[in-house]
Structure 1
Amino acid sequence: MSKYLITGGAGFIGSNLVEKIVSQGDDVVIVDNLSMGKLENIIHFSKKHVSFYKEDITNFNFMEKLLVSENFDYIVLLGAVASVANSVQDPQKTHLINQEANLNIYEIIRKNNLKIKKLLFASSAAVYGDEPTLPKSEESVIRPLTPYAIDKFASEKYALAYGKLYNIPTVATRFFNVYGPKQNPESQYSGVLSIIKDRLVSDEVFTMYGDGNQTRDFTYIDDVIEAMLILLHDHNVKWDVYNVATGKSTSLNEIIKTFEKVANKNLKIKYEAKRQGDIEKSQADVNKIREKVGFNTKISLEEGLKRYYGRKQD
């Protein structure tokens, strides 16, 4: 039996990851301040296998006591201000959470010589910014446009550098537009698919920022969880970063048509100006994760939307 620490474990990706880990018989400790995550995402888990601390990852003393006392096998760093818009409005607060809190965790591991099996830092496709070459490979030009993207890239580089310098097994992922159950549509910068789903279910107006021709590489949550677990458990994979995506690009307008087909109803749309920091085109090159660890996504966009819309509203 293994023990996992998941920061941000009450959030969308985190709670889905907890569910999978618990189903395999392992134990999880969640640290989440519930600013983005929801207690209802994790409340049903058995207390025998899941411990929850409502706490900020910026509480450095708490994090040190927890890491030193619990002797974790695996650490997954998902806790973050996940909103690009919020990072533009409050860059200093974002920096404290999205970079300094993660650096503190790396330093605790180094300073206390903690023997973990793997640490995974969840980075973002936002690090690529608006450099026009597509698809984006892990070797593509990095051009972060916002404090969110800058902090994600810096934390990613720190994770990999600390790993090499101090022999800590670390790996990083760059997620591309993950969607699925437990995504929070009330968030200002939630995944756009969760907002579309919410508006379809409630028959309310969806606000489109831009003309809808912006493209994204949408990846269903089950595929993302599988990729994370492969990267965590493959001991030959360390000190490197991997795109986690489908490798396919779809416009928002196309997405809406497919969602309308799945839901068998039309979406009401109101158009607004493009938001500051939003990227026009995004698509991943997934050759690296495919060739190095044998991971391929399994769930098509239409199948993912069917699964997502078919679930009760989370």
Structure 2
Amino acid sequence: MKKNVLITGGAGFIGSNLALRLIELGHKVTVLDNLSPQIHGQDPSLSPLYCSIKDKVNFIHGSVESREDWLAALVDIDTVVHLAAETGTGQSMYQIKRYSDVNIGGSAILLDLMANESHSITKMVIASSRSIYGEGKYLCSQHGIVYPNARNAKDMKAADFNVKCPICSTNVELLATDETSKIHPSSIYGVTKQVQEQMFMITGQSIGVPTVSLRFQNVYGAGQSLSNPYTGILSIFSTRIKNGNGINIFEDGLESRDFIYIDDVVESIVLSIFNDNANYQIFNVGSGVCTDVLTVAKTLKNVYQSNSEILISGNYRVGDIRHNFADLTLIKSKIGFEPKIDFATGMNMFTDWVNVQEVHTDLYEASIAEMKDKGLYK
């Protein structure tokens, strides 16, 4: 059965790739997007992401903060994939109202309309985030499974970046984080994604619209914005290297993330739309493997054959977590999702794409200056 799908944030990295995949499958796509300069640059007509979809979808240039734009976008729609959000963890710590207005307020308008107005929506998919877990799930030798609090400033200043047991304060061992793990975000961004997810799941249940929440890990791949200095570590590092600038590695370089390639993320959303086993479920979406940041930097430097300096500075950002990687047991068993692109393969695909792009202006130092000014970069 062919669907009419609304993708909010559909001109962004994930959204544009999803739109093209749904069109390929024969579905009709509407996109609501504000074409944020942080992602698309000052002239959106030059944005590769926007250009990839603009003549293939019903495009609405608008904002999720506008009730009128939501009403225009929802006409004849049966499936909503809500991706539109402010996404920078560090930036969220000083643009608190902005992140709340967009991520929570924008979601509230949609859900309020669905609860109070007639509509044709039969499925919702909400993009959540691994950030809602905070430091995630760990094993203490004395106290078993624990969910550590955010690391304290005293340890971080002393270059002790390890995660501690919340009971005895000893170092703990990283475990895969499953969907039943404690929710306790350590950033404003994480808080907004937690609230957003809960709002969608509660409303979906109350009005009888099947809803799926996908807790994405670190998404990367060909097409990712190379001009956004606030999110996307592979893109940030690549832009630094292509400009001949050094890479400042936070902490000791051993902090790690679960990197998942864009094609796998799109597949997880498609499965969530069309597989009824996904209804009212919350899933982790990742590779299930963690890779440390120093390895990422060294790999990029080698692939680009660069002389850029890699500096392990010991700097850190307030709100950052140490590690996290996803337990994928639930999503595999419920809808058969299995990531197909390992990190080495994905890295090659990403860097091959970067190598044929124009070199973008490096805005990283300006973003760091903002955080320093706010006391969030140490």
TM-score w.r.t. length of structure 2 = 0.78
Structure 2 unaligned residues grouped into runs of 5+: 139-174, 359-378
Distance 1:117 1:266, change over 3 A: farther
Deviates more, 1:37-46 or 1:204-213: 37-46
Matched, 1:313 2:357: yes
Residue 189 (structure 1) aligned to one of 230, 233, 236? 230
| Identity in percent | 31
Distance 1:44 1:218, change over 3 A: closer
- 1:60: which partner in 2? 67
- 2:193: which partner in 1? 152
Distance 1:201 1:23, change over 3 A: farther
Amino acid in structure 2 at the alignment position of 1:21 = L
Q: What does 1:206-285 align with in structure 2 at a 5 Å threshold?
A: 206-270=247-311, 271=313, 273-285=315-327
Give the Cα–Cα distance (whole angstroms) in 1 for the partners of residues 273 and 308 of structure 2: 39
Higher gyration radius (CA): 2
Residue 128 (structure 1) aligned to one of 117, 130, 133? 133
Give the Cα–Cα distance (whole angstroms) in 2 for the partners of residues 289 and 183 of structure 1: 25
Amino acid in structure 2 at the alignment position of 1:127 = I
Deviations 1:131-163 (A, max 9, x none): 452211000011111221111011101111111
Give the Cα–Cα distance (whole angstroms) in 2 for the partners of residues 163 and 80 of structure 1: 19
Give the Cα–Cα distance (whole angstroms) in 1 for the partners of residues 352 and 201 of structure 2: 39
Matched, 1:45 2:53: yes
Give the Cα–Cα distance (whole angstroms) in 2 for the partners of residues 32 and 272 of structure 1: 38
Distance 1:296 1:267, change over 3 A: farther
- 1:102: which partner in 2? 107
Contact 2:137–2:177 (8 Å) recurs in 1: no
Amino acid in structure 2 at the alignment position of 1:60 = R
TM-score w.r.t. length of structure 1 = 0.93
Give the Cα–Cα distance (whole angstroms) in 2 for the partners of residues 21 and 202 of structure 1: 36
Q: 1:209 deviation in Å? A: 2.2
Amino acid in structure 2 at the alignment position of 1:245 = G
Q: 1:239 deviation in Å? A: 1.3
Structure 1 unaligned residues grouped into runs of 5+: none
Contact 2:229–2:236 (8 Å) recurs in 1: no
Give the Cα–Cα distance (whole angstroms) in 2 for the partners of residues 63 and 247 of structure 1: 35
The CA RMSD over aligned residues, in Å, is 1.8
Contact 2:111–2:203 (8 Å) recurs in 1: yes
Aligned residues: 311
Contact 1:84–1:146 (8 Å) recurs in 2: yes
Contact 1:7–1:30 (8 Å) recurs in 2: yes
- 1:20: which partner in 2? 21
